[in-house]
Homo-oligomer: A and B are copies of this chain.
Amino acid sequence: MFDAPTSPHPTARVTTLDNGVRVVTDLMAGLHTASVGVWVDAGTRHETPDQNGAAHLLEHLVFKGAGGRTAQALAEDAESRGIWLNAATSYERTGFHARCIGEDVAFALGLCADLVLAPHLDANDLELERGVVMQEIGEATDDPADRAGVLHQRACFPDQALGLSILGEPDSLAGLNLDDIIAFRERTYASRAMIVGGAGLVDHDALVDFAQTRFGSLPARDPAAAEAARPVAASLVEARDSEQLNLILSIAGLPSGHPSMLALRLMTEILGGGMASRLFQDLRERRGLVYSVEAYAEMFRDTGRLGIAAGCSASQAGQVATSVREHLNAMAETGPTEAELARAKRVFGASMLMAAESPGARAEAAVSQTLVFGAPLTMEGVRQRLAAATVDDVRAIAKQALMEQLPAASAVGPKAGLEAAGAFATV
Interface residues of A (CB under 8 A from B): 29-33, 63-64, 71-72, 74-76, 78-85, 99-101, 128-129, 131-132, 135-139, 141-144, 241-244, 274-276, 280-281, 284-285, 288, 290-292, 311-313, 339, 342-344, 346-351, 353-354, 357-359
Contacts and interface: CB of A to CB of B under 8 A. Distances in A.
Contact of A132 (B29, B81, B276, B291): B291
Nearest to A73: B276
Nearest to A241: B241
Given A132-B284, A135-B291, A139-B291, 5 more contacts: A33-B354, A71-B281, A79-B344, A80-B339, A241-B241
A275 B350 contact: no
Given A139-B244, A343-B80, A75 B275 contact: yes
Contacts of A139: 243-244, 291-292, 311
A136 B353 contact: no
Residue of A64, A82, A244 with most chain B CB atoms under a 10 A cut-off: A82
Contact of A131 (B143, B288, B339, B344): B288
Contacts of A72: 276, 281, 285
A45 to B, nearest CB: 25
A242 B347 CA distance: 40
Contact of A353 (B29, B32, B135): B32
B76 A33 contact: no
A101 B356 CA distance: 12
A71 to B, nearest CB: 5
B350 A100 contact: yes
Given A290-B135, A291-B139, A33 B79 contact: no
A142 B141 contact: no
Given A357-B359, A358-B358, A311 B135 contact: yes
A82 B314 CA distance: 34
Contact of A274 (B79, B81, B141): B79
Nearest to A131: B288
Nearest to A77: B276
Contacts of A284: 132
Contacts of A128: 285, 288
A346 B285 contact: no
A177 B319 CA distance: 28
B29 A30 contact: yes
7 closest pairs, A vs B, by CB? A82-B350, A138-B243, A135-B291, A30-B30, A75-B276, A75-B275, A82-B346
